[in-house]
Chains A and B, each alone.
Chain A
C-alpha cells in the first residue's frame, strides 16, 4: 500500500552534516550497473583516466571554486595517476584486457589496505577509491540529469556524486551511510547543500514531496499544501538571511562571546570563517573513536596545538574525552551497564582509566604553551571528582617539568550537566576557573527523559522555565566566585533563548559554527534595541 499520510522522521543533531533546508521531490540516486561485460580494456581506462584527470586539472586550477573542492579534486587527480594503482592494473592484464573480477579484486585490495591502517581519517578515503574505480569504468558519462532540483536519497554519496549534484542544483542530500569527515561531506559543506546521514532507507518514499529540515533535524514526507507554503517561507527567509548574515560574524561584543562547538578538525576552519570568538567546546572524541588503540600523546598534542594556534589569542575550550553512555570505544571496555547514561561516563570513566587521562593531560599541558587553553571536565558530579583530577594534573605537570618539557598555563572548568552540581557548585567553585552548562544532558537528567527517545520527546524541554531557573541559579552562585558562565548545549543556538541567557549573566555561548553569525546578529539586535521579540 502506498502511503499518502504525512510522515515525520526525527533526526538526531549528530546526523546533520550540513545545515539548511530543502523542499522537493525525493529521488533515489540509481547508479548505473557497473558492468555487464566481463573484461575491461586497459587502454580504454587509461584514456578515461587521462580525460578525467584533465577535467579535474581544470577544477584544481580554478581559483573561483572553494578551496576544499580544489583540494579534493587534486587528491582524485593524483589517485588517477597513481603508479601503484597502474602497476597493479597492468600486472592483472592479459593481452591488454583485465577481467572484471580482477578489476574489482584490485579495488577491494586497495580498500582493505586503507581500512587496515586503523585510522578513521584514512579509512574515510575508501569512498574516494570506490569513486575512482567507478569513474575509471564509466568515465564522466554517468548522467544524473533526472535528479535536477530534487532531494536526493542514496545509500552513500561519493565525492564525484556531490560535485555533479551540486551543478544540478539539488536541494538536499540524504543517505543511510556516511560521516562528517568524508570528502563527500566536505564537498557538500563547500557547496552548502543540506546533508543528513545515518537515515533509514527512504526508497519507499521515492517521488514523494519532502521537506528536509537540516537545522532542527527532521524530514517531513508528504507535507500538506498549507505546510508547503510555510516551508517555502522558511526557506526563503533562511536563504535571504544567509546572504546577509556573514557580515555579522565579524562583530565582537564586550560582554558576551559567541564561540563554536567543534566535533571534527575540519570544523575549525569553518568556525574561523564564520567569525567564532574562539572554540567554546572542542570535543576530543574524534581522536579516540573508530580505531584499535588510543591516540598517542604526540598525536593529540599536535591536534590541540593547531586548534590553539589557529584561534590565538582567542580562547579554545578543549573537553576531556567524554565517552560512556551512548558513546563507546572498543579499547576502553566498560562492562555492560543497565543504565549507561547513569553509568561510567566522562570524568568517572577517565578516573578509572588513569593512563588515558594522563596521556590526554600531558598533550593538553604541552599544547597550553601555544595558545589560550581552557580544559573542560565532563560529567562532574561531586567535588571529589575535581579534587582527584587536580591531583593527577599536578602529578602530570611535575613529570613534564622533570622531563624538561615546556608547559604553559590553562584554565580549568566543569560541565554543569548533572543535577547534583547545581547544589554543589559552591563546593566545587574554589577549584575551578569557569563553568559551562551542557543543556542537552542537563535537560535529560532534570526531566529524566532520553533526548533520543521519541516516545518521551515531550518530556525533554530544554527551553522550559526550569532550565532557565537552573542557569540563573548557577550564574548567581558562580558570580560569587568570579567564575564566568557559558552555555554550550543546543539551547545556546536557539535564537529565542539568546536574550534571556544574556540577561541571566551568561557570558559565553557556544554553538555550531554555522549558527555563529545568526546568534551574533541576535545579540547585535538586542544591544541596539532593533528587535525585541523574546517575551520570556
Chain B
C-alpha cells in the first residue's frame, strides 16, 4: 500500500536534530519505506543524515510518501512528530 500526504511541519525546531532523531527512532518500528520530499529533494526518513540534509524549516510543507504493509501506522508516526508543536 502506498500513501502520499502533504504535511506542514509545526515542530518549532523544524526537522533539526531533536525531531529528526525522534522520527528515525520511531520509524525503526515500522517495515514500510518512508520518504520525505521537500523542495524537490527526496530523503529516506529512516536516515538521520538524509533528513537533516533536507534542511526543513519550521512551518514548511513537505510531502510524505510511505509504502509497505504498515503504511498507515508509518504515516501516523510521521504526522505526530512533524505536528508536535511544543515539547519540553
Number of interface residues of A (CB under 8 A): 34
B55 sits at the interface (CB 8 A): yes
Chain B positions near chain A (C-beta within 8 angstroms)? 8, 10-14, 16-18, 21, 24-25, 44, 46-50, 52-55, 57-60, 85-86, 88
Question: Does B12 lie within 8 Å of A303, measured CB to CB?
Answer: yes
Question: Does A110 lie within 8 Å of B85, measured CB to CB?
Answer: no
Residue of A nearest to B57 (CB): A299
| In the complex, chain B residues whose CB is within 8 Å of the CB of A302 | 10-12, 58-59, 85
Q: List 16 A-B contacts (CB under 8 A).
A: A71-B18, A71-B21, A74-B25, A75-B21, A78-B21, A82-B48, A82-B49, A85-B49, A114-B53, A122-B53, A125-B16, A125-B52, A265-B13, A296-B60, A299-B57, A306-B12
| In the complex, chain B residues whose CB is within 8 Å of the CB of A100 | none
Question: Does A119 lie within 8 Å of B48, measured CB to CB?
Answer: no
| Known contacts A302-B12, A309-B86, A310-B86, A84 near B57 by CB under 8 Å | no
Residue of B nearest to A307 (CB): B12
- From A118, A183, A296, give the contact of B55 (CB < 8 A): A118
Residue of B nearest to A309 (CB): B86
- From B16, B25, B47, give the contact of A83 (CB < 8 A): B47
A325 sits at the interface (CB 8 A): no
| Known contacts A71-B21, A295-B57, A296-B57, A305 near B85 by CB under 8 Å | yes
Q: How far is the CB of A400 from chain B (nearest CB, A)?
A: 16
Question: Does A297 lie within 8 Å of B48, measured CB to CB?
Answer: no
Given contacts A84-B50, A299-B57, 11 further A-B contacts (CB under 8 A): A71-B18, A75-B17, A79-B48, A79-B49, A82-B49, A84-B47, A113-B49, A121-B13, A298-B60, A299-B14, A305-B86
Question: Does A78 lie within 8 Å of B48, measured CB to CB?
Answer: yes
Q: How far is the CB of A503 from chain B (nearest CB, A)?
A: 38
Question: Does A122 lie within 8 Å of B47, measured CB to CB?
Answer: no
A contact patch SS: helix
Taking CB atoms and an 8 Å cut-off, the chain A residues in 62-105 that contact chain B are: 71, 74-75, 78-79, 82-85
Chain A positions near chain B (C-beta within 8 angstroms)? 71, 74-75, 78-79, 82-85, 110, 113-114, 116-119, 121-122, 125, 183, 265, 269, 295-299, 301-303, 305-306, 309-310
CA distance A298 to B9 in the complex (A): 10
Q: How far is the CB of B87 from chain A (nearest CB, A)?
A: 9
Residue of B nearest to A295 (CB): B57
| In the complex, chain A residues whose CB is within 8 Å of the CB of B10 | 302
CA distance A478 to B58 in the complex (A): 39
Question: Does A84 lie within 8 Å of B85, measured CB to CB?
Answer: no
CA distance A336 to B53 in the complex (A): 34
| In the complex, chain A residues whose CB is within 8 Å of the CB of B16 | 119, 121-122, 125
Question: Does A297 lie within 8 Å of B21, measured CB to CB?
Answer: no
Question: Does A306 lie within 8 Å of B85, measured CB to CB?
Answer: yes
CA distance A302 to B11 in the complex (A): 7
| In the complex, chain A residues whose CB is within 8 Å of the CB of B59 | 296-299, 301-302
CA distance A84 to B50 in the complex (A): 7
| In the complex, chain A residues whose CB is within 8 Å of the CB of B8 | 298
CA distance A82 to B48 in the complex (A): 7
| In the complex, chain B residues whose CB is within 8 Å of the CB of A82 | 47-49
Question: Does B58 lie within 8 Å of A299, measured CB to CB?
Answer: yes
Question: Does A74 lie within 8 Å of B12, measured CB to CB?
Answer: no
| In the complex, chain B residues whose CB is within 8 Å of the CB of A85 | 47, 49
- From B12, B46, B47, B55, give the contact of A117 (CB < 8 A): B55
Q: How far is the CB of B57 from chain A (nearest CB, A)?
A: 5
Q: How far is the CB of A408 from chain B (nearest CB, A)?
A: 16
